[in-house]
Structure 1
Amino acid sequence: MSKHFKHLAKYYQKALAKSIQFNQLCYYCGCEATGTDFCPPLNHCELVIEFSETADFIAVPSCYECNALLANERDLLLLDRAKKLKRKLAQKYAQAVRVFHVWEQDELSQMSPEFHTSIAAGIRLGKETQDRLDFPNYTLEVAGASVGIPHARSEFFVGEQCFDSFKAALEHCYSSYTLQKGKFYTLLVEECEGDFDKALSKYMHRFKKPTEAVSSIDRIKEFAKQHKQNSDFVARASTQLLKRYPELELEGALAKLYEDYIAK
């Protein structure tokens, strides 16, 4: 740290973990802390002071990678900085996280040695990254006072069932429904922002075909229940869509109703 930055560091309060279990751990991801992250960044400190911008002026323990990922980020509040870090970490290791959530260890025995090694490494890196993403930003102590922050999301719902981790909810979906893992995971993460019920609904309409014929009334009731809609509304709307698009059958009309009106 240059002499100039050392001079600016006097404006920051040093924060430490309030609980000893988090002592010497990175505030952002839980890895071993090797340095300090300044919020706002030291290279923006003078301008923040000059223009009286709202900032936390707090220094927290940080690992080398988190420090590097945040090096060019101007976020002035610690909560914003923590959110930014999680996003950048998720983007950097997106492929490994995907491998961790899509592949299972017992599937590796069926692979060639080269593919086995590659996937096993991806699973390990993906799990490590997921643990860092799930790490709860711990309570800090600044000048004897506690600084509380929101905890990471800890409940994931699939229908009425609640799971305490994203992985557990995902495995429930894999075991309870006939899904192509890669397609469902991509839909869940990229289009549905982790909303399992929304992802399941979209998946069923996009990739699943009815396996047996059912009456129109029963199919409409099933659709209404699945998407928490009034069955009379579904019946009227699907009838109108069939009139407007005569080339569609009932399943096509229901799919269009979902995509154009319910999913938005």
Structure 2
Amino acid sequence: MSLLEQRYRQLRAIDANDFHTCFYCGCIATEFDFAPPKAHWQSFQYRQLSADNLQVPSCMECIKLLKGCTMGLVQQRRELVHTKIASKYKKAIGVFLRWNEDELEELDFSLHHSIAAGLKLGEESHRRSNYVGFSYEIDGAKATGLVPTAAPLKVFGEQYASVKDALVAVSKSYRINQAKLVEGMAKHDNNLEAVVMAWQQQQQHAMFQRELRKQCAAFAKQHKQSHRFVVNEIERYLDKDAELSIADALDKLYQERVKHYQPLVK
């Protein structure tokens, strides 16, 4: 070990099950990452910048993902790794979140094989990009409060161990396609409750529009009016008074514009 390397303390797993495990992503560790990088150690010391001065067990891929990173804190370096893994395997993670094993039986052989492979890679990548590390010691002293724990995900009062579990449960409970939920999370800052509420609002709006067209069509036919004219006028009434029902608006239209005038030509 070089003199420079001796200036770094070694982060060691406490539990035997975590020996030879990458602290950043949970894969098999074959290398050491240095926080800060060895080439920048003297700069950190001279400028008195925050640095952990730790050797961190890492896998080869995480070492490659950290190439060029000059951050001196292990937590900063882990967050960067997670971001890069999520970006590198974005498509596979998307497959994992959108599909379930029980849906594969409905697919033909070629698509089944492709989706199954994506599910496997996506599950591993999703786990790695959310890995919380393990309990460890430094110079024989147990480190406390440095390893974050995965907080359970709450959706409308229900707790789930993972995003995937929440997606599956919410999809079944609210009858929303799982892929639609994933797409919605990208638009609503990963807030699954907001996705569900937005979807419900969209469904209510769609139902209202269908009912509006249905009632306006019946009114136009009965009173020999232009369908477009009726729809436009009813929407105008409803915009002015949110308390009006479609039936109330139609009655108002009849009293104000239809009752005392000649029918309009279609």
Which whole-Å CA distance do the structure 2 matches of 1:207 and 1:56 have between them?
A: 52
Q: Which residue of 1 is the match for residue 181 of structure 2?
A: 184
Task: Give the equivalent residue in structure 2 for 1:229.
Answer: none
Deviations 1:68-96 (A, max 9, x none): 11122122111111122111111111111
The CA deviation string for residues 161-203 of structure 1, in whole angstroms up to 9 with x for no partner, is: 1112221111111101122322320221x23333221222233
- Secondary structure of the residue that 1:162 maps to in structure 2? strand
CA distance in 2 between partners of 1:19 and 1:247 (Å): 67
Q: 1:120 — aligned with what?
A: 116
Aligned residue for 1:141? 137
State the shift of 1:24 in Å.
0.8
Correspondence 1:171 to 2:161: no
1:197 to 193, 200, 204: 193
After superposition, the Cα gap between the structure-2 partners of 1:158 and 1:40, relative to the gap in structure 1 and judged at 3 Å, is same
Whole-angstrom CA distance in 2 between matches of 1:53 and 1:134: 28
Q: Aligned ranges for residues 1-264 of structure 1 at < 5 Å? A: 6-148=2-144, 149-188=146-185, 190-206=186-202, 209=205, 211=207, 246=239
Report which of the two structures shows the higher radius of gyration computed on alpha carbons.
Answer: 2
2:137 is paired with a residue whose SS is strand
Letter in 2 for 1:91: S
**Helix, strand or coil for the counterpart of 2:28?**
coil
Compute the RMSD of aligned alpha carbons.
2.6
Contact residue 14 and residue 136 of structure 2 kept, 8 A: yes
| Unaligned stretches of 5+ residues in structure 2 | 210-234, 244-266
Contact 2:135/2:147, CA 8 A, preserved across alignment? no
Structure 1 residue 210: deviation in Å?
A: 5.0
Letter in 2 for 1:205: Q
Separation of aligned partners in 2, 1:248 and 1:76: 60
Please report the TM-score for the alignment, with normalisation by the length of structure 1. Answer: 0.74
Contact 2:81 2:129 in 1 (8 A): no
Query: Within 2, Cα distance between the matches of 1:101 and 1:208?
Result: 26
Deviation at 1:248, TM superposition (A): 10
Q: Give unmatched runs, 5+ long, in structure 1.
A: 214-241, 251-264
Matched-pair identity in %: 27
Q: Secondary structure of 2:129's match?
A: helix
For the 8 Å contact 1:134–1:152, the answer to whether it is kept is no
Task: Output the CA distance in 2 between the equivalents of 1:182 and 1:126.
Answer: 14
* TM-score where L is the length of structure 2: 0.73
Q: C-alpha distance in 1, partners of 2:169/2:189?
A: 18
Distance (whole Å) between structure 2 residues aligned to residue 39 and residue 13 of structure 1: 10
Write the deviation string for residues 118-161 of structure 1: whole angstroms up to 9, x where unpaired. 11100010111122234321122111112232424230111011
Q: Given that residues 157 and 196 in structure 1 are in contact (C-alpha distance below 8 angstroms), is that contact kept between their aligned partners in structure 2?
A: no
**AA at the equivalent of 2:182:** Y
- State the shift of 1:63 in Å: 0.5
